[in-house]
Amino acid sequence: MEALSRLVGSTWGLTFARARTLYTAVIRPTITHACGIWAGGKKGEGLQERTLRPLITLQNKCLRRITGAYKRTPVAALEKDTNIPPIQLYTRAQAYKYTLNSDQSTAEAAIRQLCEQIGHQNRPSRRRRQQRARPTPQEALAAQAGKARAKEDREENQRQAAGRSEGRTGRRGTNDWLESWHRKLWRERWEKAGRGKTEPTWCTLWETWGKQLFDGLTRPECTIATLLRTEVIGLNAFLVRVGVPNVQPACPCRAARQTPKRVVVSCPNHSQGRPERQLEAGTTDYVELLTTQQGLKAVTKWFLRQDILQQFKWARETALRPAHARTWRELTPLPK
Ligand SMILES: [Zn+2]
C-alpha cells in the first residue's frame, strides 16, 4: 500500500494498467497470504465481512489509488471498473480452489486413510463417534465447494442446452467453474449496488471493464474518466450534495447545476474543442462518450485541457507544454 501511494497519485505516476498489476501481483497476494486455508470460515461459507474488514478497507484504498477516485466513490463501481473482485468473494473462491485441489491430491487421500485406520484401532465409543459426525471446517468447506460446483455445473449444462454458453463444452476445470461462479455472485452484487442509479459507470455493460475502458489513458486522464463516470467529482452540484459549505450548485454559466453532463455537453464556458472531440469520439451521445474506450479517450483529453478542476492544474500545464526531449516519460508497456 505504501508502495502504491508512492508510485501513483491522482494526477501523476503509474498508469491504470501498471497500478492494477502492482496491486494484483504484489499487494493482494501479500494481504491474502494462504487465504486458501483460512478464508473458508467455520462452515465453509466464507468469512464474515466483519472479520475481513481490515482487508476490505485496504483493498478499497488501493482501488481508489488505481482509479484516482475520491473517497465517497461507491466501491462496487471501482471493483467492476478495475476488474478486481470484492475481497470476500476473492478469498472464498481461493478457499474453494484450495480445498478442491487438495481434496483430489494423493497426499490428502493418504492422510485420510491413515486417520481412518487409527480411528479404527482406537475403536471409539458410541458417543465419540457421534461427536465425530460433526464435520471439521475443512470438511464443511469441501462440502460447500462441492455444492457450489454442482449448482454451477447444472446451470452451465442448462446454458449449453439452450445454446447460450460462451464457454467450451464438456466438463470444465476447477478454474473455469470458479471463475463463472464468483463472477455471477459479483455481478449480482454490482447490479444491486447500481439499481436505480443513472451515473455512466452503472450504465456500462457488465462485460466492459479495465483495459476496455482505461487502456491508453495517461494517469490524469484515467482519474478524469473515473470522476466523470461516477460523478463523484469536484463540481458544484456534487459539492453541495455532500455538504461542502459556501458552495452553490449552479454552474458559472448560470445553469442551475454544474454537473459532469452540463460541463461536457452544453456549458458555453467550455465549448472550446467540443466539435473536434466529437469527431474523435465518433459520437455525441453522453453515455456512449463515457462508457466506451474511444469516447473516454476523447473526452478525458478534452477535459484535461479545460480549466475546470484545480486538481488537474499541474497536469494540464504539462499536457499543454510542447513535448520536450528530456521530459520524463512512462516506459514502454511490458510484453504481455
Ligand atoms: Zn456552465
For 139-148, how does the pLDDT look when each residue is reduced to its tens digit (9 = 90+)?
A: 888 888 888 8
* Cα-to-centroid distance, 214 and ligand 1 (Å): 27
Question: 247 — phi, psi (to 5°)?
Answer: -120, 140
Distance 235 CA to ligand 1 centre (A): 10
Q: Are 232 and 324 in contact (CB under 8 A)?
A: no
Whether the CB-CB separation of 165 and 181 falls below 8 Å is answered with: no
Residue 172 DSSP symbol: P
Q: pLDDT tens, 64-80?
A: 999 999 999 999 999 99
pTM: 0.83
What's the CA-to-centroid distance between 306 and ligand 1, angstroms?
12
| Residue 129 pLDDT greater than 60, yes or no | no
Q: How far is the CA of 73 from the centre of ligand 1 (A)?
A: 23
Ligand 1 midpoint to CA 227 (Å): 18
Choose between 14 and 112: higher pLDDT.
Answer: 14
Of residues 324 and 39, which shows the higher confidence score?
39
Position 176 scores a pLDDT of 86
The average pLDDT across 259-277 equals: 96
Counting residues of the chain whose pLDDT is more than 70, the rounded percentage is 84
Tens of pLDDT, residue by residue over 299-314, are: 999 999 998 998 898 8
- Average of per-residue pLDDT values in the chain: 86
| pLDDT, position 325 | 44
For residue 119, give the amino acid letter: G
Ligand 1 centroid to Cα of residue 234, in Å, is: 14
pLDDT of residue 148: 87
Q: What is the pLDDT of residues 273-297, one digit of tens each?
A: 999 999 999 999 999 999 999 999 9
Q: How far is the CA of 204 from the centre of ligand 1 (A)?
A: 26
Q: How far is the CA of 262 from the centre of ligand 1 (A)?
A: 6
Between the CA of 77 and the centroid of ligand 1 the distance, in Å, is: 27
What does the block give as the cell for 245? 459549505
Compare 294 and 120 and report the one with higher pLDDT.
294
- pLDDT at residue 251 is higher than 80: yes
Neighbours of 242 (CB within 10 A): 10
Alpha helices in the chain (DSSP H): 2-7, 16-22, 28-31, 35-38, 49-67, 75-82, 87-104, 106-122, 126-132, 137-161, 174-194, 200-203, 211-214, 219-230, 236-241, 260-261, 274-281, 286-291, 293-305, 313-320
Compute, in angstroms, the gap from residue 253 CA to the centroid of ligand 1.
Answer: 4
Supply angle C-alpha 41, 46, 48, rounded to 5.
85
- The pLDDT assigned to 314 comes to 84
CA of 303 to the centre of ligand 1 (A): 14
Distance 269 CA to ligand 1 centre (A): 6
Contact (CB, 8 A) for 140 and 40: yes
Ligand 1 centroid to 274 CA: how many Å? 14
